[in-house]
Structure 1
Amino acid sequence: MNIKLLFVLFFISSFSVKAQYSFSGQVDENHLENSVYLSLIEDYRKLSGVFSEQIITKQQIDTSGHFQFRGNQLDTDNRIYRIHIDNCKEDEQNQNHFDGHCDDSKEILFIAKNTDTISFPFSFDNQIFCKINSTNTKANAFVRIDSLKEVMKFDYGEFRSETNRKLNNKKWFKTLQYFGKQLNEPLAELSIYAFLSDRSNNFHEYYLEDLKTSTYYDDLNLRLSEQYPNSVYLRQYENEINADKFSIEEPDKISSGKWSSILLIFLGISLLFNGFLLYWLIKKKNNNKSNLKSSLTKQEHNILQLLLEDKSNKDIAEVLFVSVSTVKTHINNVYKKLNVQTRGEVKKLFNK
């Protein structure tokens, strides 16, 4: 019975040891006996920096500069982790790390899971020169990306001209995307996506244009959903992509709707103006008619009315009980006052 119990305990103990992670490394003499921190990064927009909410645990660096993290509380799937160290005293960290930045901080990013053993045989003072030995083949992905970025910096620094910058923007945008895809690790690819889509760098305008036509972003979404279907990384990426797609599609709709609205407003103003102009012309014409009529005597007014009724001179003479010659005299006076010369012009002047 005791033998069985010992066997069970040995089996459980062996399994527990096997399931533990171990991350160890060496730092330079400037950080001896400081604290070193292990963080889990679930927001790929916060890959670099010092964020207290990401910290899992801390260890003390010994007098030889060695540190080690061990345990079994990490996720069983790959996640993004950071180990960092800084020279800030613990009572100063809340103030100095408030915005996630620390000028006196060193860090290294890597991909790991709960069963991984990783060693950083050199100092992580500069990640691009740090060789990571790991049981996880994906652990080095961020180191490889940083190495490529160093080459990119050289291209940009060779000639600091606007033309050189634009040519390199176009070249390195696609180079980084392709390199990320070849890593065959969507978590590392996310760091490249975050870099290229960052509003503060020169690639952002290329990213927005690329997003309109490229299938790369849907393909990355598929790779993430296949390897990390329930991860926070996938949800964050989907939310950002959908928001960015909406932001580039909506201005086109807004622009189209804006011009339609402007056209309708212009049409409405035009109709209103034309209506007002027509009203003003009619009113002016009526006022002119009234003014012209007001210059006529009572008898001349009677003559005008009969002219508009197409009465002949003889008919007018009979209606008004005057001679035809008198009618002619009155008609001539009416013509002068109305500034016309014929009956037709009289009728045209007062035609509704």
Structure 2
Amino acid sequence: MKKWMFLLVCLSFWSIQGQYRFSGQMAQENAGKSIYLSLVEDYRKSSRIYLDQIIRKTEVDSTGVFYFEGNNLPTENRIYRIHLDNCEEDKESAHFLGQCQNSPNVLFIAKNTDSIQFPTSFENQALCTIESTNPKSKLILEIEGFKEEMIFDFTEFRSDTNLALNSKNWFAKLQEYGENGEEPLVELYIFDFLSDKKNETYGFYLEDIIQNPYYDELLYRLQNSYPVASFTQQYEAELIADKQLASFGNSSVFQWQWILLLLLAVSLGFNIFLLLRNRKRKQSAEFLHKLTPQEQKIVDQIKEGKSNKEIAATLFVSHSTVKTHINNLYKKLNVSSREDILALLEK
């Protein structure tokens, strides 16, 4: 009996360990309102609420408390958002267009086994404080504080000199903070902000991406921590494209000769491709000309991937006859396998 009790306790403990629980406190006036949990896989969609990211929905209870729990989240860290819906129910399009400005929300990092609380702050503000079993959970919230300082530095003086100095300073500060956090997801969040085309930092970003090894190092960290994640592939593709754009934009003079050379190389390559293809077709025609009508039929069957038995049934001949024809094909075409025949005739 004791053994069974011990086993039940162990199983209960294991099930708890494999579950997440995200809970928080809202003002009681929000009782009955909907609150949502979203999974943000696309870091370019971290700036506002997107309907296609929502994975769970619950309601704030009569005391202002809400919670999400279960065991269906990824086992690795991911970026999540919790937001309270303060928009009218019939204005779903406001969320879709990102126009709902009355929805308190918070971004945080979590995985399937985390327990996280969002208590109200000392000013009775909700979704502004995080208490978590995961030390990485509050890193994004801390970055929001950096961003406010950064915006103040940029707006205090609007000169080009101030823009250049602050860009260099804040790029280095945010990138260092992200790297020291040892969580590439946080670095992706920072990258999304610094490389945003709508921000004044975009011009400096195109300069920085050429000379700063940080971006390649971030790709290496992503590939090691999240090798199969979609956001890793997304970042790699953006990095390649932005480097090409930056290299092109850094030219002091727009050099048309490079474009002409590129077009010439493409044209030359295409002509070589056509020449080789036509030559291959001519060779295939010559090979087929050597074959008897029955051998040509067998070649057609080989192209369809049929076995010797299937070929025999289709052509109404014996299995041994098919083998004889195929051996004759090998001798005439100077090959030793079906793959060699396909290589000669199908291209």
- What does 1:244-259 correspond to in 2, within 5 Å? 244-250=242-248, 255-258=254-257
Q: Which letter maps to 1:243? A: A
Indicate how the Cα distance of structure 1 residues 206 and 162 shifts in structure 2: closer, same or farther if over 3 A, else same.
closer
Q: Which has the larger radius of gyration?
A: 1
SS at match of 1:90: coil
Report what 2:192 is aligned to. 194
1:84, distance to aligned residue in structure 2 (A): 0.5
What's 1:17 paired with? Answer: 16
How far apart in 2 are the matches of 1:256 and 1:180? 38
For 1:236 and 1:254, locate their aligned partners in 2 and report how far apart those are by CA, in whole Å: 31
**Structure 1 residue ranges without an equivalent (≥5):** 263-352
Shift of 1:259: 6.8
Question: CA separation in 2, counterparts of 1:122 and 1:163?
Answer: 41
Query: Matched residue of 2:104: which SS?
Result: strand
**Over residues 63-113 of structure 1, what are the superposed CA-to-partner deviations in whole Å (9 max), with x where a residue is unaligned?**
2211111100001110000001121233322x2112234111111011000
Structure 1 residue 26, shift from structure 2 partner: 1.0
Residues 21, 47 of structure 1: alpha-carbon distance in 2 compared, 3 angstrom cutoff: same
Q: 1:97 aligns with which of 86, 95, 98?
A: 95
Instruction: Kindly report which structure 2 residues correspond to 1:1-352, keeping only aligned pairs within 5 A, or say none.
Output: 8-93=7-92, 95-122=93-120, 125=125, 130-250=128-248, 255-258=254-257
AA in 2 matched with 1:215: P
> Structure 1 pair 257/153, CA: closer, same or farther in 2 (3 Å)?
closer
Cα drift, residue 250 of structure 1: 4.7
| Match of residue 308 from structure 2 | none
Tell me, what secondary structure is at the counterpart of 1:82? strand
Which one is further off, 200-209 or 153-162?
A: 153-162
Measure, in 1, the Cα distance between the counterparts of 2:239 and 2:51: 27
Q: Quickly say closer, same or farther: Cα 1:126–1:258, change in 2 above 3 A.
A: farther
CA deviations on 1:184-233 (whole Å, 9 max, x unpaired) are: 21100111111111111111111111111211101001111111111122
The whole-number CA distance in structure 2 between the counterparts of 1:202 and 1:119 is: 35
Distance 2:50 2:230 in 1: 17
For residue 208 of structure 1, what is the amino acid of its counterpart? L
Distance 2:21 2:207 in 1: 43
Structure 2 counterpart of 1:145, which letter? Answer: I
Does structure 2 retain, via aligned residues, the 8 Å contact 1:49–1:102?
no
Q: Deviations over 1:294-319 (max 9, x none)?
A: xxxxxxxxxxxxxxxxxxxxxxxxxx
Q: 1:25, 1:126 → 2: CA distance?
A: 8
Amino acid at match of 1:48: S
Q: TM-score, normalised by structure 1?
A: 0.67
CA distance in 2, matches of 1:223, 1:256: 36
Contact 1:77 1:114 in 2 (8 A): yes
Deviation for aligned residue 1:132: 1.2
Q: How far did residue 12 of structure 1 move? A: 3.1
| Preserved CA contact (<8 Å) 1:106 1:125 | no
Equivalences, count: 258
- Comparing 30-39 with 195-204, greater Cα deviation is found at 30-39
SS of alignment partner, residue 240 of structure 1: helix
Instruction: Return 5+ residue gaps in structure 2 as ranges.
Output: 262-347
Q: Is the 8 A contact 1:21 1:71 kept in 2?
A: yes
